[in-house]
Amino acid sequence: MTWARGAGAARASLCVAALVAALSRCSPRVVDAVDLRAQDDGGATADAGAGLVWPNETSTKNSDPWIAAHHDDIVEMHPRLIVLDFYDGTGAARPFDVSNVQDIAQQQIDAIAEGSRYHGYSDPSAPAFLNYELVKVVDLTDHPAPAGWTHASSTLLPVDSSGAFDLSALFSADFAHNYGEPDPADPSRDLALCDLFERGIINELWLAVADAPPRQPGLFVESKQVYDDQNRPVAQSFASCTGYACYPGPPVPRCNVTVRIAHLDPRFELGCDLIVRSIGIENMRLAIPYMQKNALDFIDHDFDSRFGVPFASWEDLCDTSTAQQQPPATAQPGCVEYPSPSVAQGTYADGGAWTIAPFVQGCGSAHFPANARFKWDYVNTQPVQSRCEHYGMHDGPDGGDLPDLYRADKVTAYTQRYGDPDAGGSGGCGGGWQVYYRQNMPGLNNRAHAADGSPMKNWWPFLFY
């Protein structure tokens, strides 16, 4: 892994001997940028048995037709990642530098890997499918910040004339030198962001920023290649709203492959950034018909067709217009009640009552755990029926999925590892739920069936379609 100082300064390895004492360790998943491009036995396999690993010598970029063609044979994905660190640490309780951001990025990588272990909570041998490789952290902090500077992030954070974060600047030729990737055909020119995505040098970009809006970037934005129902790319068609926020239009460029840009919060628990990435998983259905056909049931977005109610999801029913814009949200009034584990009820805005009985849901969603009473309710202890752990298996006595009681203690261990130990009763961002939720998504070696009765595809490769 490389630690680079922005503005064209010389790049230095984070793991050279001179820094070992200062940083004390180098994570085993963070590898040198040069080594990352080197692959064993042609790049087709790498200690993954007979399965394929992506990226490889043949395929490196997002939206490569190779991914769809080999979807069912891929056993590991190692997306390449660059982190831009703009966080000065202004106002932080302790000194903060780029090595801390590297550590936080690695913790987020580890949490994503854990969430990609299909049924990992009950199967210790379940492998991690997503193993991000951190190419480099680019230091774009102030050294030091100007006197009187009050923003948490640096003067190098690109903003427009109104002071709002300027995403388009990250794609510009002027900004390209910060990525530190010379054009092999013209070493005097540095590759810009679209070049990095289109050449497969990176598959995702993370931004370490700790400012409030308008300086805050979109927490996760994606320009995603659209596919048809045969998983073939639709030429020149990209979906803009598959992220947590919509990918802006011009002047922000649209590259020729899927572009993924995510937030990395250096202040809060890992679960907060897992939420925005989970919403990106849920929204893949807007670009990939396979997910539209097979994910709505799991993410509880088909209540209207399944239960005959006039709302498709809790998001549609629960009024969050006056709610806090981020968790925790314990002050919200409950819009769903569970008088028993298999009954859900509540009232509409006009006072009319509704009841779903029996209520046997799919699993839940990033914002609404299986037993949520309101958005971001990660602390309810009521047990509620769900099909999280048996989704798509058709292992029940009636040929449906066997219901199981979702209880808060199912995620306790993950909350301790990925949640906020200081959140108390608020539940923070629900890091424990986010990991458990992801582990129940059909992943590698899943035992689920698709809507047409065929074996369910692993959902994770769709991220990089």
The DSSP bridge pattern shows strands 80-85 and 133-139 to be: parallel
Among residues 174, 346, 378, 176, the alpha carbon closest in space to that of 271 is found at 378
Residues in CB range of 17: below 8 A, 6 or more apart: none
CB 367 within 8 A of CB 349: no
Q: Is the pLDDT of residue 428 over 90?
A: no
Structure letter (DSSP) for residue 251: T
- Give SS3 for 113: helix
Q: Is the pLDDT of residue 327 over 70?
A: no
- Give SS3 for 338: strand
Q: pLDDT tens, 19-68?
A: 223 323 233 223 333 333 333 333 444 445 579 999 999 999 999 999 99
Tokens 């979906």 -> residue: 239
Calculate helix-pair angle for 270-282, 431-439, nearest 10 degrees.
40
Phi, psi at 226, each rounded to 5°: -90, 140
The long-range contacts involving 413-419, CB below 8 angstroms and separated by at least 24 positions, are 413/121, 414/114, 414/121, 417/111, 417/114, 418/111, 418/114, 418/269, 418/270, 418/271, 418/274, 419/269, 419/270, 419/271
Taking residues 279-295, report their average pLDDT: 98
Of 96 and 113, which is predicted with more confidence? 113
Q: Name the strand (E) or helix (H) holding 433.
A: helix 431-439
Residues in CB range of 361: below 8 A, 6 or more apart: 300, 370, 384, 385, 386, 387
CB 272 within 8 A of CB 429: yes
Q: pLDDT tens, 196-211?
A: 999 999 999 999 999 9
Q: Is the pLDDT of residue 308 over 60?
A: yes
